[in-house]
Structures are given as structure tokens and as C-alpha cells.
Structure 1
Amino acid sequence: MYTWGFSHAVMSCCMFVSRSKKTSGLQTFQLNDAVEKVKLYTYKELRAATGDFSPGNRVGEGGFGTVYKGTLKNGTTVAIKVLSNESTQIAREFLTEISAISNIVHENLVKLYGCCIEGNHRILVYNYLENNSLAQTLLGTNRNNIQFSWKTRYKICIGVACGLAFLHEGLLPHILHRDIKASNILLDKDLTPKISDFGLARLLPSNATHITTQVAGTLGYLAPEYVIRGQVTRKSDVYSFGVLLLEIVSGRCNTNTRLPCKEQFLLERIWEHYKQGELERMTDSSLTDDLEIKEACKFLKVGLLCTQEASKLRPSMSIVLKMLTGEKDVELEKITQPGLVSELMQKKMTNQIN
């Protein structure tokens, strides 16, 4: 099942199209500029592509709609996401972001093909990814469907790092994803990872070091400065990537409330094993034949570097990529206590009380 969330950014674009008569001249100009960058599909052709949105073609549910597998007239297989009629959120600031995201082409990012904006229909068309998300296939109920060897996990870690480094450093203005997590990493037929769902993304102007915004995302992946102060930087995404890295190597979700209190949070467990010199115990037990234990432990250490409590201590994604590929040594002396989830929750509660 597809688990990736609906892109609020493009959803906003679609809603603005249907209400363009109510927008100002400036908004209409921005709208037209955004829509020019994506293909407009008719409802009729998307209905035909999915067999009248047949339940048999349904491949997943998201927060704002249903995803169907479809085949276009030219034979292209696509993921077609239908926005539920109850979704009425409009965010004008995302129009500029739509323009940026819709033009992005990168091996490790999903591709938005276009949208349908006829009448009340709000539909997005993406490239289809055959092997769903990491949340489902590695960490979830479908984890036995694919054998995630160490070589495969290495490829996935490197791919996600490449995609995120591109967003952070290969584009101007920089893009902050804000929702890096296992359910937003999709896998194609070759298990090449694609970062998806830019619904919470923000642009970071070249003259800015951070932005302050309402906190959104998934607890467990959120950086301390974001949870406590609503402050987002590229280092906030680095923190989320660090948690994801730990999940991929260990094969465990970052949070598991079914475990005893002291074992519920993956980051805390790995930190304790690191202090005790027993990191190898946190690698996925299903890894056997091709496991490079030294390399796996290195990845866990990089994950700890990415999740440092102070954002200034976290490396940039380009440096993270070099450490993962061996171009740069992991500076162990820089590994200090990470921003632990249980402590973040306590600090947030304290701030709310005060």
C-alpha cells in the first residue's frame, strides 16, 4: 500500500485554479506561472487510465486522498492520487514552491507529471514506484516481500542522501523538505529510493539561515529546534535523515510503544549502545551473508552525528554523503548526545506550561 501523504503544495495549486476568479491579479499571475510547469490532464483520461478508479487499481491511502495505479494512453504507468472532497486547505505561499518542485528532475526524487483540476476534481499524477515505501517494505507489514541485503540498504541510504543534498545545495533557493521519513521514501522496481511528498516543503532564501513556521511532521523524526521553537534549517532535515539512517541499518521503527519505556525510542537505544561500545548489536539481525559490520556501524555513527542536539554540530548533507561513501572519515570526537525524543517531549511540555 502506498503510504505517502498528499502534496499540500500541489493541492493548493489545484484549488487556486478552480477559484481563480476570486484571486487578485497577482495571485492569478502566480497561479498561471505555476500551472504552466505541470501538464493538465482531463478527468476523462485519468478515469480511463484507472478503469473508472477501480478498487482493484487502488494501491494506497494518504492523508488527503486515495492513490490508484493507472496506465495513460501512451502506455506510461503512473500513480494517480485523488484528493478527497473534504480537503479544503489553501496555502498561497506554496505557489512559488510548486514552480520549483515541478521542474525538479533528479534520480532520487519523485516526479510530478501533472494534475487534473476539472470541476470539483483535484487529482495529481506522479511516476509510479513499484515497491512502495520503506515504511511498508522494510519496517512494516510487507517487510518479508523484499530481501533488503546490506548492498541494497547501502544503495538506499546513499540515494536518499544524494536527493536531500540536491534539495539543500543543488538548488536556489534551497528547499527544506521538512518531512523526511520512511513513509516518504518510495522504491522503484530496482529499489532505487525516491524522496516523495513535498507538501510541507519550504523555500530557504539564499540570504536566510532559517525560517520559523508552525510545527508539522512526525514526532521521532523532528529536530529539537523545530519541536521547541518552530525553527527550521537544512540541519533540521539532516536530523530527520539521521533517524531514517538508523532505521534502515537496524530494520526498526524509530518509535515502538509496544516495547518497555526504556526501549521505545530507537535513537536512545542506539546512543546507549554506542556509549557501551556495542553498536553492532543494533544492526538488523536479518542481515547475514553480505553484511559489512564495520560499514554498518559507521552508518549508525553517521546517524548519531546527524541527530546531534545542537544543529550547528550536525554535518551538511554533502558532508554526510562523503562520510557514507568513504570519501571522508567519520569524526568520532564530534559525536555527542543526540536530541533524544523523550527529552524533547519533556521540554515541549515545559514550554507549554510556562
Structure 2
Amino acid sequence: MNLHLVFFLILVLTVSLSSSNLHASNANAQAETPGIQEARVVHHQNLNKIILVALIVCCVLLGGIFLFLSRVWFGRHKILRSSSSKSEGTMEAAKGKTLNPVSAKLNYSRMTDKKSSVAIFDFQLLEAATNSFCKSNIMGESGSRIVYRAHLEEHFKAAVKIANSDADREFENEVSWLSKMRHQNIIKLLGYCIHGESRFLVYELMENGSLETQLHGPNHGSSLTWFLRLRIAIDVARALEYLHEHSNPPLVHRDLKSSNVLLDSKFNAKLSDFGLAIASGMQHKNMKMSGTLGYVAPEYISHGKLTDKSDVYAFGVVLLELLTGRKPMENMSSNAYQSLISWAMPQLTDRSKLPSILDPVIRNTMDLKHLYQVAAVAVLCVQPEPSYRPLITDVLHSLIPLVPVELGGSLRVTEPVHSEDLH
């Protein structure tokens, strides 16, 4: 309420009280004494007392209102000053100055689930951290999506992915799912950025890029030993087991492929790209067909049927990539492609031929019994009939004993960390 209006109302009240008291005083004076002069003296004395009381009341009220307004003003000033300092810190970071990456660079935003939170990055910060998205900072490309290395601070680096401009739903889906997940074999989402029509996702940095790049890039798998490949397969199986068995609700990843398996500096694998992930068991009548040729399960292509066994099929294809070093679809001619499964299946079940189809990098480097067991797992995973495929938990239990403990075998089994444990 306006301060002047309050003061005016108080004065009106005072005058009203004074007027009523004045009439009462005159009546009493006339009743007690016939002297006019004496009545006037009584009137002035009462009036002075009333004015004094009214002034005291006004001062108390005005003082209280002043203190209240002062407190409100100082509170707003403090909030504005805090907001201004955060803005200045972000601009300094964008200019390349080193600041605390948590306090100065991130503004935390609660998602719908109160137990989870993700960070919002300023576009100017990402632009500075990637050197204006310079080509020299490109870590990888997948379709129209490009991943950049970002130097947010000397010892704080991340990966920035530019999301598809026409896939807002996938962007929101990935932020929603990953903000709730904490697992050693699932990529950690640090935050995101929305700048105009552009969308950016910021992840933890995986120094060795994707499994696709390692197997089919310039190095042609030369850095991946037999045990490293098995451990990568186990890591991916652990991620899928978490999605299928421990996530709430259970999820189908729906886009498992070697380019979505990322490797850190020690070649530990983490599953990424959850833009197409959906809750398991839901009805998907109007769901848009999606996936990558060579990894998509046959029942999904023919009938649109999607279950956790669809992920198991894609896992089997990745396992075959690790064994053979070949791509899931090979270009035979200008218009002809051959799938890895159709090429490998006849030889996977023939023990005499199996060693000859292995990636030359790992050929003759493993116990043949272990090779036969891994090949048998791969064959089961890519069965055309979903009911013949094993659960991912059974796959995991089949592969873990094949990796020595000192190389990250059974000791790598840990309980997943849920988001509520971090808050």
C-alpha cells in the first residue's frame, strides 16, 4: 500500500476521533458549569491530549512500515547483487579466465523429479571452451551430430554434443533419463544448453572416443586386446542389465551400437545416447520406426515389436564386431550390402572355421575354449526368434568368468549408484 495513502487514512481517523471527543467535551463542560470560558479551557486541554496520542500512534505505525519496507528493499538488493555476481562470473569464464567450474559456471536447475538435477551451461561458456566450436576440437561425428572436446578449465574437460535441430523430443528424452541415472557403465550427463534453436548436451569426457572409432577408424582395433574387448562387452552388458532389471521404470535403450559405446582413458566402456530410450512394456502403436541398419532386431523391422530382447540382439551385433573387427553392414557393391550376421553365422558354429574370421589383431591370443564360449553367446543373442535369446543377466554371467580378476573381471561388479544417494 502507498505510504502517503496510509498517512492520509491515519490523519482522517485522528480528525474523526478529535471531532467526536470535541463534541463529548463540550457537552460535559456545559453540564458541569455555566461558564463559557471554563468550557473552552477544558476543550483545548482535551484536544491537546488527543493530538498527542494521535501523533504517537502515527509515529509508531510509520516506524513499523518503514522498518518493513527497509527489510524488503535490502532483501531484494541482496538477491540482485548475488545474481549480478553470478552473471559476471559466467562472462569472465567465457573470456577464458579460470574459475571454479561448479560455482561460477553452472546454474543448477531441478528437473520434474525432485531427486535429480542437471546443470545449465551458458552458450558463451561452451563457445569459449570449444574455441568457437573449432574443427580441431571435434572428437567424433554420428550423422548430423558432432561431439566437441571442451576445455572448461585446466583440469576440467568435457564433451559437448550438438543435438539434432529437429529432434527436440529426443533431446528432452535424453536429459530426462540421464538426469536420473547414476551407474558406472552409463555416461554421466553434466548438463545442457539451449541457445535459440540450437541444443547442446554436455557429458563427462571419454578420452578414447567410441568403440566404433577404435574398431573401424585409423587404428583398426590395434589398441584393443582380447581381454580389453571382453571387458568392454561386460561393461555394456552391465549397463543393459541396469536398464532392464534395476531402472525404475525398466528401459529399452533402442539404439545400442558401437558408436554409442564410449571408452575412457583406461578403455572402460559406458553406454551413451538415450534419446530413443523408452520404458519397457509400454504400448508403442504410434512409435516412429528408428534405429541403425545392422543392429535392429528383425521382429522390430517386421512387426514393430520392441522389448528388452531387442537390446540383446543389438548387443550380439556389437559382440560380433569385437570378435571380427568388421562393420555390421559391409558395402559389397554400389547397391549391395552384406550384414555381419549373415556373413559370420555359418562360421561361428563351425569350430574349425571360427578362428579364421577373428580380427587379425586378436587372432591366436586367447584360449580357444573362451573363444568358443563367447561365440556361442553371440550366436544366441542374434537369434531371429526373440524367445530364443538369453536375458542380458545370463549373458553377463557367462562372460564375467572369462576375464581374470586382475584385469577387471568379477571384482568390477559393483552396486549401481542411484540418483537419490547423491542428494
TM-score range, shorter chain: 0.7 to 0.9
- Find the aligned partners of 1:275 and 1:122 in 2 and give their Cα distance: 46
* Structure 1 position 106, deviation (Å): 1.4
Q: Does 1:37 align with 2:111?
A: no
| C-alpha distance in 1 between matches for 2:198 and 2:364 | 50
Q: How far apart in 1 are the matches of 2:137 and 2:121?
A: 19
Are 2:400 and 1:322 equivalent residues in the alignment? no
Q: Do the aligned residues in 2 keep the contact of 1:114 with 1:126 (CA within 8 Å)?
A: yes
* Preserved contact between residue 168 and residue 176 of structure 1 (Cα < 8 Å): yes
Deviations 1:62-98 (A, max 9, x none): 33443211122473110012346xx233439x85764
Percent identity over the alignment is 36
State the distance in 1 between where 2:186 and 2:262 align.
9
Q: CA deviation at 1:225?
A: 0.9
Which has the larger displacement, 269-278 or 238-247? 269-278
Corresponding position: 1:167 with 2:247: no
2:319 corresponds to 1:245: yes
Alignment match of 1:201 (pick from 269, 274, 277): 277
Q: Deviations over 1:241-264 (max 9, x none)?
A: 011111101111122123799993
Q: What letter matches 1:129 in structure 2?
A: M
Q: Which residue of 1 aligns with 2:382?
A: 307
Q: Which segment is superposed worse, 238-247 or 133-142?
A: 133-142
Q: Secondary structure at the match of 1:33?
A: coil
Distance 2:361 2:355 in 1: 13
Q: Deviations over 1:130-163 (max 9, x none)?
A: 111111111233326x421111111111111111
The corresponding residue for 1:91 is 169
Q: Distance in 2 between matches of 1:120 and 1:95?
A: 14
Is the contact between residue 41 and residue 115 of structure 1 (CA under 8 Å) also seen in structure 2?
yes
Tell me how far apart the structure 2 counterparts of residues 259 and 279 of structure 1 sit (CA, whole Å).
Answer: 26
Flag structure 2 segments of 5+ consecutive residues without an equivalent.
1-109, 403-423
Q: From 263, 271, 278, give the equivalent of 2:345.
A: 271
Larger radius of gyration: 2
Alpha-carbon offset, residue 297 of structure 1: 2.3
Question: How far does the alpha carbon of each residue in 1:287-320 deviate from its partner, in whole angstroms, 9 at most, with x for none?
Answer: 1563222212211110110111111111110011
Q: Which whole-Å CA distance do the structure 1 matches of 2:210 and 2:383 have between them?
A: 26
Counterparts of 2:111 and 2:377, CA distance in 1: 43
Alignment equivalent of 1:77, drawn from 136, 139, 157: 157
8 A Cα contact 1:210 1:233, kept in partner: no
- Work out the CA distance in 2 between the residues paired with 1:260 and 1:82: 31
Q: Name 1:226's counterpart in structure 2.
A: 300
Does structure 2 conserve the Cα–Cα contact (< 8 Å) formed by 1:161 and 1:317? yes
The amino acid across from 1:307 in the alignment is V
CA distance in 2, matches of 1:263, 1:82: 30
In structure 1, runs of 5+ residues without a counterpart are 1-30, 328-354
Deviation at 1:285, TM superposition (A): 2.2
TM-score scaled by structure 2? 0.63
| Total equivalences in the alignment | 290
* Secondary structure, aligned partner of 1:130: coil
Residue type at the aligned position of 1:299 = V
* Aligned-partner residue type, residue 128 of structure 2: A
Within the candidate set 107, 112, 116, 2:184 is matched to: 107
The residue number in structure 1 matching 2:418 is none
Please state which structure has a larger fraction of its residues in helix. 2
- Secondary structure (helix, strand or coil) at the match of 1:169 reads helix
| Alignment match, 2:362 | 287
Larger mean Cα displacement after TM superposition, 254-263 or 71-80: 254-263
Q: 1:323 to 1:260 in 2, by over 3 A?
A: farther
Partners of 2:335 and 2:162 lie apart in 1 by: 39
Q: Shift of residue 32 of structure 1?
A: 5.1
